[in-house]
Amino acid sequence: MTKKKTATQRKPSQPSSHGHSHRQGDCVALLRQLSAYIDDELPSDVCTEIRRHMGTCPNCEIFIASLQHTVTLCRHRTTPPLTSADRKHMRRAILDAANAQ
Amino acid sequence: MRAITPTTPPRQPARQKPDGFDRLYRDHVDLIYRYAYRLCGETEAAKDLVQETFLNAYQGLKNFRGDARVSTWLYTIASRACIRMRRKRKGQPEHELSIEEFVPTSEGEFRLQIPIDGLSPEEALQNKELRKALDQAIEKLPQKYRMALVLRDMEGFSAKEVGTIMGLNERAVKSRLHRARLFMRRELSARGITHHDGHKPGSLHS
């Protein structure tokens, strides 16, 4: 991904600040497909194209790594367990509410 | 835990607990609590949601035809109950997330990272700062995006199953999921969480 620029900032003859040149649209198009890429839902030719893009765009490479890390952390987020007392208390409350009708 | 009020009248009077309910409750209460906790982010609200879910399940058990897996049916009930409970609280309208807001606008924004390189996710999550950031980011996520993220990335459902549970088509699920992940990535990386010491899990570099 390249730095987002406005029309007045753009200088076509200069490479981007991280030393490569391609259209910003490539980066935005890639950003739209990243979840599908992570989930392995894209056709192989599109995956190849994304990998090729990442090879020339360090920012996109870092971005996708951080998105992958985000998904990994979400998948491993833990929750506190219910206690036996909680289970019993809730069961009683549910049955009381049902029988009160 | 609050007293629960049934939201829909039962089709038939429920005076006695069916044996099936106890089995249903025993086999699924931990699963639904985990889901409820992930949606609500705190214990008491999660317990309220569990009770609401199983009360509705109790009332609907006789009409459950087994078209879906029991767990999927319960997740669907829990998801609807969660939406109803939020409406009752009459909070602010939910913020819609657009892809455009996640397009980085500076070099620094691109290069923000989440410090788990070289660590297993379990090791990384021993970092209290990271764990807290993860919890807070999920809490900030608007509910409809949070639900898609929780179902897909935490509960492990396929996009199609998430669609069945949320009443959405697969494309809408994927769209919400993608925005949710981008939101989470931005929230986590923008906090500047300090790197974890791989040799001493739980400690942080200054």
- pLDDT tens column, B32-69: 999 999 999 999 999 999 999 999 999 998 888 877 88
Please check whether residues B141 and B109 belong to one and the same domain: yes
Please check whether residues B136 and B79 belong to one and the same domain: no
Contact list in A for residue B47 (CB cut-off 8 A) is: 86, 90
Contact list in A for residue B185 (CB cut-off 8 A) is: 66-67, 70
Please check whether residues B57 and B24 belong to one and the same domain: yes
How far is Cα B160 from Cα B4, in angstroms, rounded to an integer? 32
Contact between B122 and B200 under an 8 Å Cβ cutoff? The reply is no
Q: Which pLDDT score is estimated for B205?
A: 36
Optimal mutation site among A6, A86, A90, A99, interface B, most CBs of chain B within 10 A? A90
Query: At A94, is the pLDDT very low, low, confident or very high (cuts 50, 70, 90)?
Result: very high
Give domain status of residue B106, yes or no. yes
The answer to whether the Cβ–Cβ distance between B110 and A70 falls below 8 Å is no
User: Number of structural domains, chain B?
Assistant: 2
Give the structural domain span for B110: 99-189
Whether A80 contacts chain B with CB within 8 A: yes
Please check whether residues B53 and B112 belong to one and the same domain: no
Examine the fold and report which residue of B63, B89, B115 is the final residue of a domain before the chain moves on: B89
Backbone angles phi, psi at B172, to 5 degrees: -65, -35
- Chain B: closest CA distance from residue A84 (Å): 10
- Chain B: closest CA distance from residue A4 (Å): 5
Q: Is the pTM of this model over 0.90?
A: no
CATH class of A24-99: mainly alpha
Condensed to tens digits (0 to 9), the pLDDT of residues A6-31 reads: 333 333 333 344 444 455 677 888 88
Sign of CA dihedral B157, B161, B166, B172: positive
